[in-house]
Amino acid sequence: MVESKAVQGGKSFEIGYSQKHGWREAVDECLSQVTVSLNTGNLGFIYTTDSFSDQMDLIVQRFRNQTNVKNWVGSTGVGILRSGREEYENSAMNIMIGTFPENSFKVFSGVSGQLQKFTENFNSWLENNLQTFSVIHVDPQTQNLPRLIPEFADILQEGYLIGALSSAHGHTIQIANGTQSAGISGVMFSEDVPVSTGVTQGCSPIGPQRTITNVSENIIFAIDDRPALEVFKEDIGEELASDLGRLVGNVFAALPLVGSDTGDYLVRNIVGVDPQHNLIAIGDNVEVGNPIFFCQRDKNTAEKDLTRMLQVMRRRIKGAIPRGALYFSCLGRGRHTFGDESSEMMIIQREFGDLPLVGFFANGEISHRSLYTYTGVLAVFL
């Protein structure tokens, strides 16, 4: 997690939102709610449902032309978020504008397999800033993401990443002073921007941590030197094991992050079981010696873990008043885990009050240098 620094004491961010169907009307309604930031802000975040995908170039251009804010980043989402509210599928647009120290951030785009090109383009900024934190938005079709994300963190002087994979019913769009439809884009912040982050899991363990002892890519043959399916059925219990067909979307593999001091783990789908050969397949490649346990998605434990994470963050910032926040939540969370009535966002609002906050429901969540699923990732600017 990124620890907060001394409180900056700057102005609170402002958010604007709209459910207008027309893109011009939606932009103008958002702008009518951020009157203070129009002249003082220098970085904006845009999150829209994918009903606006085809007009995104025009939307970004109008935001830049109608304000003094020339730097904008963001993404499409199947659902989008703001303080206390979740909007799904229908036309919806949320923005947040903040004021940051001069030269404390840099917008970038087009990061894919050619990391050397990124280094060359931004070498001057990286040399002059102790880069500590980046918000990234990612095309989910980008190749080799589990490898690319930690490599990108490395070239950012081991920078701390938070962000998410864009979502949409059709093609996804990312925003970085224009529109992108490939690779990684976002904004880098220097050490002059204090921030605190947290990750909340949407699952709870239902068995002990074990060790993979025979595997080929994502197909696990043995756990603790025993047949993998036998161990799996033992750990999840007789009731769940009696009907393996209903495990999809309910029971998952959890891969602990080696070296984590907070017990973080990556959740991966169970993509297949083979009773004849006593094996299981999961949605990620693993190796002999990797730790593994199994977990179940559960509303009550998800609510408890979200509350725990929020309370830990409140203690960590030691009474500082947050200026604004970003929240990225898995598509499997929100109404699918917490129920209707924007329950997930209401929990955040309960703990942090009317914090200016925007974000979206994602195809995958990014924290530090790992790609998660079924998680919520929060970044609070101080």
311, β-bridge pairs = none
> Does some domain include residue 328?
yes
SS3 353: coil
Q: What is the pLDDT of residue 166?
A: 97
Is there a single domain that holds both residue 240 and residue 315?
Answer: no
Residue located via tokens 């203690």: 315
Q: What is the pLDDT of residue 4?
A: 39
Q: Residue 265: which domain range?
A: 203-296
> Does some domain include residue 374?
yes
Token pair in block for residue 74: 């963001």
Is there a single domain that holds both residue 276 and residue 333?
Answer: no
| Confidence category of residue 260, pLDDT binned at 50, 70, 90 | low
Distance of CA 277 to the CA centre of its chain: 37
Is there a single domain that holds both residue 18 and residue 149?
Answer: yes
Is there a single domain that holds both residue 212 and residue 165?
Answer: no
Is the CB of residue 361 less than 8 Å from the CB of residue 327? no
Question: In degrees rounded to 5, what are phi and psi of residue 62?
Answer: -65, -40
Distance of CA 322 to the CA centre of its chain: 19
**Cα separation, 373 vs 199, whole angstroms:** 11
Check pLDDT > 70 for residue 2: no
The number of distinct structural domains making up the chain is 2
Answer yes or no: pTM beyond 0.95: no
pLDDT tens-place string over residues 37-78: 888 899 999 999 999 999 999 999 999 999 999 999 999 999
> Does some domain include residue 253?
yes
> Does some domain include residue 217?
yes
Is the CB of residue 155 less than 8 Å from the CB of residue 188? no
What mean pLDDT, rounded, does the chain reach? 91
262, 277, 296: which is the final residue of a domain? 296
> Does some domain include residue 1?
no
296, 320, 351: which is the final residue of a domain? 296
Token pair in block for residue 124: 């001057």
pLDDT tens-place string over residues 126-137: 888 877 799 999
Is there a single domain that holds both residue 84 and residue 154?
Answer: yes
Strands 219-223 and 265-274: unpaired
Is there a single domain that holds both residue 119 and residue 268?
Answer: no
Is there a single domain that holds both residue 116 and residue 252?
Answer: no
**Cα separation, 16 vs 35, whole angstroms:** 10
Which amino acid appears at position 52 of this protein?
A: F
Helix (H) or strand (E) holding 86: strand 85-88
276, 296, 316: which is the final residue of a domain? 296
Is there a single domain that holds both residue 44 and residue 161?
Answer: yes
The sign of the torsion formed by the CA atoms of 206, 207, 208, 209 equals negative
Which DSSP symbol is given to 202?
S
What residues contact residue 357 under an 8 Å CB cut-off, 6+ apart? 15, 81, 82, 83, 96, 324, 325, 326, 327, 348
Is the CB of residue 106 less than 8 Å from the CB of residue 188? yes
**Cα separation, 211 vs 108, whole angstroms:** 40
> Does some domain include residue 323?
yes
Is there a single domain that holds both residue 193 and residue 319?
Answer: yes
Question: In degrees rounded to 5, what are phi and psi of residue 228?
Answer: -60, -45
162, β-bridge pairs = 135, 367
Lowest mean pLDDT among 7-16, 23-32, 237-246, 372-381: 7-16
**Cα separation, 119 vs 81, whole angstroms:** 33
> Does some domain include residue 128?
yes
Residue located via tokens 């969370």: 333
Q: Residue 249 belongs to a domain with what CATH number?
A: 2.40.30
Is there a single domain that holds both residue 212 and residue 182?
Answer: no
**Cα separation, 198 vs 327, whole angstroms:** 10
Closest CA to 16 of 42, 55, 40, 48: 48
Q: What is the pLDDT of residue 6?
A: 37
Is there a single domain that holds both residue 194 and residue 62?
Answer: yes
Is the CB of residue 325 less than 8 Å from the CB of residue 380? yes
Is there a single domain that holds both residue 229 and residue 279?
Answer: yes
**Cα separation, 75 vs 330, whole angstroms:** 14
pLDDT tens-place string over residues 327-378: 999 999 999 999 989 999 999 999 999 999 999 999 999 999 899 988 999 9
> Does some domain include residue 2?
no
Check pLDDT > 90 for residue 261: no
